[in-house]
Amino acid sequence: MDLAIIGSGYVGLVTGACFADVGHNVICVDNDPAKLEALQSGKVPIYEPGLEEVIHRNVSTHRLRFSGNIEEAVDKSQIIFIAVPTPQKPNGDADLSYIEKVAREIAGVLHSYRVIVDKSTVPVKTGEKVAESIKRYNKHNAEFDVVSNPEFLREGCAVRDLMQPDRIVIGAQSERAIALMKQVYEPFMAPILVTDINSAELIKHAANSFLALKISYINALSAICEASGADVEKVADGIGTDKRIGRSFLNAGIGYGGSCFPKDVAAFITISEQLGVPFTLLKEVQRINAEQKDRFLKVIRDTLWVLREKKIAIWGLTFKPDTDDIRSSVAIDLVADMLREGAQVCAYDPKGMEKARMIKAIADATFVNSALEAVEDAEALIIATEWEEFANVDLAVVKEKMRTAIVFDGRNLFDPKTMAQLGFRYHSIGRAAVSPA
Ligand SMILES: NC(=O)c1ccc[n+]([C@@H]2O[C@H](COP(=O)([O-])OP(=O)(O)OC[C@H]3O[C@@H](n4cnc5c(N)ncnc54)[C@H](O)[C@@H]3O)[C@@H](O)[C@H]2O)c1
């Protein structure tokens, strides 16, 4: 099929590349000249495992191309996917101005029947607004259908999630649009759930909020474990092996971040309030998430006493491993917190350094080229992101390099007993702190 994707970021670019990989002809559109230039010259502006290969493979067979021309994309495609940002406004609302702009732009160049699909995460009833908007600016009175097709990919394994999705949700009211959407997804051989548009939109916010809730649940449990001497990892295994609960998203840590959970939970709270049915449970999810980082900071302060002029190493800047995405990353907040207290921060991340260097709030940090370089002469090490690379570092060498061997592990990467045996003072989440054996 001939498809267009408007917005070539973490979602649009991966979606476009994977659609091309199963045989569709795809035009990925973006209005960021630097991003477009990079893509057109063969560079991939984001890091996502396996993405570069898929892009290069499909560009070389001409099934995938990049353009800044929305008119050409709309003209040449049967279906137009919208994958532009829906960031959080100061009041928690989702900012839908990017979606509205694209809807207007599409409407202005619509000449014959097209399916316009919203892939961005949007509040329930946005589909109705998009349809109204297109109708209003539909210069040539062309036929169209609006569909909601939320995206569930996880950064860090987005290509795999796109190629082997758990399910595809299609929210639509026209049989013609449903048939075309099923054709797009046929090669993926995944279960397809067809719903009305409002339900599809709600599914996405409900799914992300539930996952955030699961994280906050285990994080709240981690505080109880610390107070009672239990081990949160054992508790998570004990409840997670119950199939009704499941082990995933039960990893205690310093809280969720990233471009989705914080904003989507906030948006869902606002939506529920606007609908007159406040979802207060989600406010508790937010509170626990914020408190988790504060509890971690308190342990750091209680242990190190004064942070001023101390050299603190930080491993990890991205909001999760296997991505270069630092948006709303708790790791970045931690670096800023340490700098604010006068510490000398030496940070390292396998993929997030380039983007982190651009963040003003952490401009005073020193960015180094390896995990071992970061701990040189450090008085403490903070582990903020659970990269595999960190799990494989030779801890004896780390111990040797540090001035004082104190580790604050915000992601429970190591076994406390081993750390004590190696001579570290080791603090983690929801497990007893240990001192050198
Ligand atoms: N990142 C994720 O893991 C993820 C997962 C599921 C859903 N989502 C949702 O998908 C949407 C996109 O997220 P993202 O992470 O890909 O954002 P992103 O910022 O990485 O990408 C958005 C892209 O849209 C482009 N853009 C903005 N306005 C445009 C316009 N008028 N015309 C053409 N291009 C335009 C931007 O330049 C950017 O490249 C959001 O609603 C997000 O909540 C994200």
- Candidates 84, 116, 149, 160: which one to mutate for ligand 1, based on the most atoms within 8 Å of Cβ? 84
Q: How far is ligand 1, taken at its centre, from the CA of residue 10, in Å?
A: 6
Give all strands of the β-sheet with 25-29 in edge-to-edge order.
Answer: 64-67, 25-29, 2-6, 79-82, 114-118, 144-148, 168-171, 192-195
Average pLDDT of the chain is 97
Q: Quick one: average pLDDT of 63-68?
A: 98
Q: Quick one: average pLDDT of 163-176?
A: 97
Q: Quick one: average pLDDT of 236-254?
A: 98
SS3 415: coil
Choice between 437 and 56, residue whose per-residue pLDDT is larger = 56
pLDDT of 334 reads: 97
Q: Quick one: average pLDDT of 273-297?
A: 97
pLDDT of 437 reads: 84
Asked if residues 23 and 187 have their Cβ atoms less than 8 Å apart, the reply is: yes
Prediction pTM value: 0.96
Percentage of the chain lying above the pLDDT 90 cut: 99
What digits encode the pLDDT tens for the residues 313-340?
A: 999 999 999 999 999 999 999 999 999 9
Q: Which residue has the tokens 């000398």?
A: 344
Ligand 1 near 315 CB (within 6 A): no
Q: How far apart are the first and last CA of the chain?
A: 64
Q: How far is CA 382 from CA 72, 78, 299, 335, 349, in A?
A: 50, 50, 11, 9, 12
Closest residue by Cα to atom 30, ligand 1, is 31
Q: Quick one: average pLDDT of 32-37?
A: 97
- Candidates 6, 10, 89: which one to mutate for ligand 1, based on the most atoms within 8 Å of Cβ? 10
7: region left, alpha or beta (phi > 0 left; psi from -120 to 50 alpha): left
- 260 annotated active-site: yes
Closest residue by Cα to atom 35, ligand 1, is 7
Q: How far is ligand 1, taken at its centre, from the CA of residue 14, in Å?
A: 11
What digits encode the pLDDT tens for the residues 118-153?
A: 999 999 999 999 999 999 999 999 999 999 999 999
Ligand 1 near 323 CB (within 6 A): no
pLDDT of 61 reads: 97
